[in-house]
Structure 1
Amino acid sequence: MFENIYSPVQKLVIKPFNNLFVKRDDLIDPYISGNKWRKLKYILEEAQSQKKTHLVTFGGAYSNHLVATAAAASRSGLKSTAFVRGEQVNNEMLLLCKLFGMNLLFTDRESYKDKPALFNQYFRENNDTYFIDEGGASNEAVIGCAEIIDDLKDTYDHIFCAAGTGTTAAGLFKGIQKHGLKTKLHVIPVLKNGSFIKDEILKYSPNADNLILHLNYHFGGYAKTTPELFEFIKSFTSKTGLLLDPVYTAKMFYAIVDLQQKNILNIDDKILALHTGGLLGIFGMKDKF
């Protein structure tokens, strides 16, 4: 399941950039999408090495991570359960989870804050279960995301990625340092007060040289948007043919365009943006387009 992936690097033709490229991790799989595939690769390997048969994880009602975990579990012959944050709802994402066989446990927001306690409450006596943190955050996930740099055939002046927990960014930075590259890693936190992400990244790569966080592109917070962002998505996609999701990749590409307009990026700089997939999340905001 985790071999022979398709994730090309494509050049984007969009003014005024001369060398803007995108790493198409969104093409890896329609359900185990983008960085979710990267994160789950070694998580599943570790779970299976421990002879675990039941994956237990956490997420919101529109979580791409839940869909990815459900799909990966079903393809691997494993059971899956998710603690879903908030009141019981039905939507397109949770429908997919259920079709892949995932058991959904809706959980009030206060209880959801203590994930290990929730896990122990339900599964303390079950030795078959394997705990996967929200979004797949783990050392195994960092190792998987570091392989993005291994995949690259060329070098770049700048690499951009969006960040929620910082796991993908930590993997990218680990890969950059592993290969001794001078590439600058630009991280776009998609939530307010995202400076903590730098600390998460530096847990895995203590040298902060060439690590840059841009904290002003969250558009109000995690999964928050504005009409300006939706207008950007429509314009960008119509010009490039590249679909973006409002939670992560739209904020990243908006940042790239804005930083160039502010002359922080040069139009001739060689820039690579990581498309982390997650396009199913568009359905959670379909009424805003």
Structure 2
Amino acid sequence: MFEEIYSPVQQIHIHPFSNLFVKRDDLIDPYISGNKWRKLKYILQKAKAASKTHLVTFGGAYSNHLVATAAAAARSGFKATAFVRGEAVKNEMLLICSLYGMELIFADRESYRNKAELYKKYFELNSETYFIDEGGASADAVIGCSEIINELTETYDHIFVAAGTGTTAAGLLKGIQEAGLNTKLHVIPVLKGGNFIADEIAAYTEISNHLILHIDYHFGGYAKTTPELLQFIKNFVKGTGILIDPVYTAKMFYAITNLAKQNQITPTDKILAVHTGGLLGLLGMKDKLLLP
């Protein structure tokens, strides 16, 4: 269903770093991208083992998770349905979901808050369905993300990752702990009030002094940007040839460069940034990014 794939590590050269590397999970797949591939890997195996035929999940109108689930379902022989948060809309992301055969059910924001109740309302009597939480958050997803550490052939002083739900960060921390590494894990929440990410991580693995949370790089909140961040994206992509998205990875790379300016990390330290993919998020920002 999901053959073993190991993404490459690439060194990049941006001032002032001499040892900055990127784990290119964005190259795993264009639609089941990055950490989405890792999160779904064991979830789909469990669904198949349980003889389920229909995946049911949740996300916003520009959710990379929905696209990934739709693509994974189509390739693996599952039917798929998504509850989409908010009013009915048409966009490029949902077009891809629909082309992969995913049924879309738009749910008002109040109803969406209770995902278990939504699932029960539509699918309580359907024994063929398999519940997948928003973003794929689960213990199985944490295991999939922990395998990033197993794939590394070198050790790093610091590993950086952007975080929305904390699942990928929990997997990385778990992998660091199990490997007995001294690496510091720097987590960049992309939402306001990102301290809650620590609680999300703690639900899956023990919090340790390996973990450092940087909560001031949300740029206004989830999927929010500023002219400074948009300019950073343009300069970074032009200078490295690596696409980054404004929702997650741009905020992470901005944080890395800013922390170096503040002398919170040393540019000569060996640093790994995990590129979690999600590049279709650029589509939601096309009007802003096309401005001069």
Normalised by the shorter chain, which TM-score bucket? over 0.9
Runs of 4+ in 1 over 6 A off after TM superposition: none
Question: In structure 2, how many angstroms separate the alpha carbons of the residues matched to 1:272 and 1:94?
Answer: 32
CA shift for structure 1 position 203: 2.1
CA shift for structure 1 position 194: 0.9
Question: In structure 1, how many angstroms separate the alpha carbons of the residues matched to 2:189 and 2:37?
Answer: 20
Question: In structure 2, how many angstroms separate the alpha carbons of the residues matched to 1:250 and 1:187?
Answer: 13
CA shift for structure 1 position 2: 1.7
CA shift for structure 1 position 6: 4.5
- 3-state secondary structure, aligned to 2:23: strand
Q: Which residue in 2 is equivalent to 1:19?
A: 19
The answer to whether 1:62 aligns with 2:58 is no
Q: Which residue in 2 is equivalent to 1:155?
A: 155
Taking the TM superposition and a 5 Å limit, the aligned residue runs for 1:36-115 are 36-115=36-115
Question: In structure 2, how many angstroms separate the alpha carbons of the residues matched to 1:207 and 1:200?
Answer: 10
CA shift for structure 1 position 117: 0.2
For residues 96-152 of structure 1, give each alpha carbon's deviation from its aligned partner in whole angstroms, at most 9, with x where no partner exists. 000000000011010000000000000000000000000000000000000000100
- 3-state secondary structure, aligned to 2:187: strand
Q: Which residue in 1 is equivalent to 2:277?
A: 277
Q: Which residue in 1 is equivalent to 2:228?
A: 228
Aligned length: 289
- 3-state secondary structure, aligned to 2:188: strand
For residues 154-194 of structure 1, give each alpha carbon's deviation from its aligned partner in whole angstroms, at most 9, with x where no partner exists. 00000000000000000000000000000000000000011
Question: In structure 1, how many angstroms separate the alpha carbons of the residues matched to 2:153 and 2:268?
Answer: 19
CA shift for structure 1 position 207: 3.9
Contact 2:81 2:103 in 1 (8 A): yes
Question: In structure 2, how many angstroms separate the alpha carbons of the residues matched to 1:5 and 1:144?
Answer: 12
Gaps of 5+ in 2: none
Q: Which residue in 2 is equivalent to 1:268?
A: 268
CA shift for structure 1 position 5: 1.7
CA shift for structure 1 position 265: 1.0
Question: In structure 1, how many angstroms separate the alpha carbons of the residues matched to 2:148 and 2:2?
Answer: 14
Contact 2:6 2:151 in 1 (8 A): no
CA shift for structure 1 position 267: 1.2
Q: Which residue in 2 is equivalent to 1:252?
A: 252
Q: Which residue in 2 is equivalent to 1:32?
A: 32
- 3-state secondary structure, aligned to 1:71: helix
Contact 2:188 2:251 in 1 (8 A): yes
- 3-state secondary structure, aligned to 1:185: strand
Contact 2:173 2:210 in 1 (8 A): no
Tell me the amino acid that sits aligned with residue 82 of structure 2. A
Question: In structure 2, how many angstroms separate the alpha carbons of the residues matched to 1:18 and 1:177?
Answer: 26
The answer to whether 1:287 aligns with 2:282 is no
Contact 1:6 1:27 in 2 (8 A): no
CA shift for structure 1 position 200: 1.3
CA shift for structure 1 position 208: 1.5
- 3-state secondary structure, aligned to 2:165: coil
The answer to whether 1:168 aligns with 2:191 is no
CA shift for structure 1 position 198: 0.6
For residues 199-245 of structure 1, give each alpha carbon's deviation from its aligned partner in whole angstroms, at most 9, with x where no partner exists. 11122222421100000000000111111100000011111111100
Q: Quickly say closer, same or farther: Cα 1:207–1:89, change in 2 above 3 A.
A: closer
CA shift for structure 1 position 16: 1.1
Question: In structure 1, how many angstroms separate the alpha carbons of the residues matched to 2:88 and 2:267?
Answer: 47
Contact 1:202 1:208 in 2 (8 A): no
Tell me the amino acid that sits aligned with residue 212 of structure 2. I
Give aligned-pair identity as a percent: 72
Tell me the amino acid that sits aligned with residue 101 of structure 1. G
Question: In structure 2, how many angstroms separate the alpha carbons of the residues matched to 1:232 and 1:248?
Answer: 13
CA shift for structure 1 position 3: 1.6
Question: In structure 2, how many angstroms separate the alpha carbons of the residues matched to 1:207 and 1:132?
Answer: 25
